[in-house]
Amino acid sequence: MKMRIFFASAIVITLILLLALTVNHAREKDMVEVFSRQQLAHAQNTAIRIADIFAQAGKNLALFSHFDPQQKISAEEINSVYKILSSGWEKSIDAVSLFDAGGKIKMIFPKNASPDVNLASHFNVLKKKTNLYYELTLPEKSSAADHKQSINWYMIIGCPIWRNNNFAGAWIASFKVASMIEDFQKQTRENSLGNLWLTDDSGRIFIHPDANIIGKNVKDLLQRGSEIPVDFSTGRGHYMEALVRKADQEPQRSVIAYFPMQTGNKKWIVFVAAPYNQVVLPVRKTFVYTLFSAFLLILVVVIASISFAYREGRMVRIEEERKRVKEREDWQEKLLLEKKTIEGIVEGSPIPAFVINREHKVILWNRACMELTGYPASEMVNTDKHYIPFYSVKRPLIVDLIVDHDLAGLDKYYGNKKVKKSLKVVNAYEATDYFENLGGHSRHLYFLAAPIYDEKGEIIAAIETLQDVSHEEEVARSLREYAESLQNELSQNIELQHEIQELYNYMQSILQSLPDKIYELDENGIINYISRGTNRDGEKNSREFKGKHFLEFVAPENKDYVLAKWEEGKQGIYKPYEIERTKKDGCKVNLFVTTSPIIGTSHYLVVQRDITEVKNLEKKLYESQKLAALGQLSAGIAHEVRNPLSSIKMSLNILEKRMNPAGNDLKRFKIAEKEVEHLEELVNNILIFAKPLEPKMAPVNLTRVLEQALAMAEKGIADKHIDIQTQYESIPPVIADSAMLVDAFINIIRNAIEAVEEKGSIIISLSNLEGSREAVVIQVKDNGCGIDAADMPHLFNPFFTRKNYGTGLGLSQVKRIIDLNNGTIDITSEKDKGTLVRVTLQCNERRTGRRLLQSA
């Protein structure tokens, strides 16, 4: 009985102690949390102040970047520079040097100072910089033992000097880091926050109260329970608990706060570390006092309770003990039944699966897993050899990594095996892998591993299921190959389509560039396609033709003829034909139409060519051939007539001298002589007209040509007292035959003189063609009798005249001369109102030469 009471009391005391320890632990945690935040705030404040000190030193140095190292600096300026740079850092500053562009020291502070560090090496680096330069370094001639002393570390601050984008020199200052940090270390210790460390961005320690630690990496100094690495140089600082390794002592549990700082292009990390025991010491003292008081109180209560509860509690305890035993047996039976049920489900599952415990030993290996791997459960259960069926060397499976919650290991061992978190099972991971020989076959396996938790939420085991996805992988591979094949075919088809489109566009360009119009008609005469051909005013848009019968666009007078030709074409008779069409502006054009079948289809191709110019050229050729024949005939006749005319004229002169006729006889002699002269003039004109002309092209002053022509016609002008008005503009020379033009304008002016009455008017003008400098216009306008409208078409025909004594060759010769000189002549006239002759000549020598070639 006494033992039971003692045992019950011990349990109560133990529970109270556990509760007290739990409360104390919670208070310690709260104390550590509050202390850590204070520590972090101090680390942040210290980092900011140290960064400000470094930055201020850099700014002070940058203030003197305006000094030109090539110029002499006064002693007063030198003292001012040093006073500013050393203000507040008299103990810290080592040396301040001004370098020129060649690396020569122009001045150094203090005067005749000998820097402990090699400033020249930093100068070579600074030559490539444009901003402030910060760097930590050790003395140039320090020993290996000195390297471990924080007092030997120096801060190098450099400021380059640039003039007109050229490097002109640099300021370089060296500071003793330990002296600069000394006040902060002292303040940290006085505030009971621990010790101040300072590292660079790589974690190398250069400020630490223990000289043996300096030079080591802070990550090697700290040992944390978590395997997740900490990046101290990023973020806004944090705090943590860690074991700090000592040189010759056991690792010490410490509370550490850190905060990164940035100065220029360099980054450092400020650490504040305090022993854990020192942090929680006040709480532990209070806990000991409280625990002792509680123990005394518990002792009194227990002793008092034993005497009162002994008898009453005895039976109650016995009954409760029986109930607990019965409940324990019931629970054991239920757990055993549940275990067998779960094992039966897993064992009978068609999906291969196995389970391992926290010690990585197999506790379940089902039949499907044996069939897949070829290893029975008897060889695997209670062993950690579950890797053997899959790998030749021992390595963790995904289920092992899940048990250890090793997420980094998942990336290491399964990073290239499509490992990912399962979307269906909570906290499970899945992956795939290929095995050359698994159970006698090469297989693709899909793994799914999930943790098994106890009632506290802690991992006590993990299950891994395996699925043979070789068929799915083969199908996927086939689909990928098929998709790749389709992609290649698609690329080829796209490339072929582009080539076809380019060819189609090229053929379209050819068709649209042809001067002929091309129609594509079906067997019923419906237009399916029409090319643009050469654009002509008044023609319909090609889209207006599509879908309509071609006869809708044929003139009524040509419909029957065209329809007959269409029917002949459908019967296989493909003869070209010509039709004449009148445009909207009244101009008539001649069209040459060809019909042909499109091979392999029932459609037809109709080509329509405008041969109006060809017809005009044929007509001109006919006229020129007719004129040539007429000229040859006239020349032959003229040669045959000239000799008899000469004999007749000579005979008339001899007879007149011998006979001395008078009266009517003399009158008849004069008429005969006049007719002979008329015949001689006619013969001369015929010979001139028949004679081939070769123009001598050269720059011609048209004003001078017109003046010469007027001078030659001066007698006729004077006889009729005609009013001659000239209107000459300043024009460039034309390329023509000057003599030919004089003959042509003499003919034109004489015709005007003959057409006007006594005291008539003739206006001769010379100007550029409508403001253009490429052609000139000569106009001869009279107020004479004019020309009948019926005679206008025949004005340039040889031997056509309405004069009593005219030869009819004057205007023909003028037209010929103007054509040979690449010009045009137009005559407008109205009966009894006068006549206007308009001659146009080209000024451009290139254009004139081109027209000469075309005439040839």
Helix axes of 2-62 and 75-86: crossing angle, nearest 10 degrees: 170
Q: Which residues of 585-608 are buried (b: 16+ CB within 10 A; e: fewer)?
A: eeeeebbbbebeeeeeeeebbbbb
The 10s digit of each residue's pLDDT in 386-403 is 888 888 888 899 889 888
Q: Which among 48, 46, 86, 44 is positioned nearest to 64, based on CA atoms?
A: 86
The 10s digit of each residue's pLDDT in 712-760 is 888 888 888 999 999 998 888 999 988 888 888 988 998 899 889 998 9
Tell me how far apart the alpha carbons of residues 219 and 211 are, in angstroms, rounded to a whole number.
17
Say what the pLDDT of residue 854 is. 40
Tell me how far apart the alpha carbons of residues 792 and 835 are, in angstroms, rounded to a whole number.
11
The pLDDT of 689-706, averaged and rounded, is 81
Return the percentage of the chain with pLDDT > 90, whole number.
Answer: 8
224-228, 302-306, 771-775, 782-786: least confidently modelled range: 224-228
Say what the pLDDT of residue 730 is. 87
Say what the pLDDT of residue 685 is. 64
Q: What residues pair up with 444 in beta bridges, in sequence order?
A: 434
What band does 808 get if pLDDT is binned at 50, 70 and 90? low
Q: What residues pair up with 758 in beta bridges, in sequence order?
A: none
Say what the pLDDT of residue 151 is. 52
Q: Which residues contact 638 (CB under 8 A, 6 or more apart)?
A: 683, 686, 687, 690
What band does 494 get if pLDDT is binned at 50, 70 and 90? very high
The pLDDT of 298-315, averaged and rounded, is 70
Say what the pLDDT of residue 855 is. 41
- With beta carbons less than 8 A apart as the criterion, state whether 558 and 577 touch: no
CA 737 to chain centre: 63
Return the percentage of the chain with pLDDT > 70, whole number.
Answer: 85
The 10s digit of each residue's pLDDT in 427-476 is 899 998 888 888 778 888 888 999 988 888 889 899 999 888 888 888 88
- With beta carbons less than 8 A apart as the criterion, state whether 774 and 827 touch: no
The pLDDT of 306-328, averaged and rounded, is 76
CA 418 to chain centre: 34
Say what the pLDDT of residue 762 is. 93
Tell me how far apart the alpha carbons of residues 707 and 592 are, in angstroms, rounded to a whole number.
50
Tell me how far apart the alpha carbons of residues 722 and 739 are, in angstroms, rounded to a whole number.
25
**Mean pLDDT computed over every residue of the chain:** 80
Q: Is pLDDT above 90 for 200? A: no
Phi (first) and psi of residue 238, to 5 degrees: -165, 180
Tell me how far apart the alpha carbons of residues 845 and 385 are, in angstroms, rounded to a whole number.
105
Q: Which residues contact 782 (CB under 8 A, 6 or more apart)?
A: 752, 755, 756, 760, 761, 762, 763, 834, 835
What band does 848 get if pLDDT is binned at 50, 70 and 90? very low
Whether residue 110 is preceded by a cis peptide bond, meaning omega within 30 degrees of 0, is yes
The pLDDT of 68-81, averaged and rounded, is 70
What band does 691 get if pLDDT is binned at 50, 70 and 90? low
> At 318, is the secondary structure helix, strand, or coil?
helix
What band does 665 get if pLDDT is binned at 50, 70 and 90? confident
Say what the pLDDT of residue 309 is. 63
What band does 856 get if pLDDT is binned at 50, 70 and 90? very low
Q: Is pLDDT above 90 for 837? A: yes
Global pTM value: 0.35
15-24, 365-374, 628-637: least confidently modelled range: 628-637
Say what the pLDDT of residue 2 is. 55
CA 808 to chain centre: 77
Say what the pLDDT of residue 542 is. 62
The 10s digit of each residue's pLDDT in 764-778 is 999 988 766 788 999
The pLDDT of 509-524, averaged and rounded, is 81
- With beta carbons less than 8 A apart as the criterion, state whether 806 and 817 touch: no
Say what the pLDDT of residue 850 is. 41
What band does 147 get if pLDDT is binned at 50, 70 and 90? very low
The 10s digit of each residue's pLDDT in 600-653 is 888 888 888 888 888 777 776 776 666 666 666 666 666 667 667 777 878 878
- DSSP letter for each residue of 509-566: HHHHHSSSEEEEE-TT-BEEEE---S--TTPPPGGGTTTSBGGGGS-HHHHHHHHHHH
Tell me how far apart the alpha carbons of residues 744 and 810 are, in angstroms, rounded to a whole number.
8
Tokens 């048209």 sit at which residue?
A: 702
Q: Which among 444, 471, 345, 427 is positioned nearest to 390, based on CA atoms?
A: 444
User: Which tokens in the block code for residue 339?
Assistant: 């275990």
Q: What is the DSSP letter of 821?
A: T
Say what the pLDDT of residue 633 is. 65
Radius of gyration of the chain (CA): 61
Q: What is the DSSP letter of 449?
A: E
What band does 853 get if pLDDT is binned at 50, 70 and 90? very low
Q: Is pLDDT above 60 for 149? A: no
Burial of 537 per CB tally in 10 Å (0-12, 13-18, 19+): exposed
CA 687 to chain centre: 78
Angle at 115 between CA 110 and CA 120, to 5 degrees: 115
Q: State how far the alpha carbon of 520 is from the alpha carbons of 580, 595, 662, in Å.
A: 21, 10, 88
The pLDDT of 328-342, averaged and rounded, is 76
Element (DSSP H or E) covering residue 311? helix 276-348
Can you give the three-state secondary structure of 326-369, one letter per residue? HHHHHHHHHHHHHHHHHHHHHHHCCCCEEEEECCCCEEEECHHH
Higher pLDDT among residues 331 and 804, named by residue: 331
CA 464 to chain centre: 50
Helix axes of 664-690 and 810-820: crossing angle, nearest 10 degrees: 20
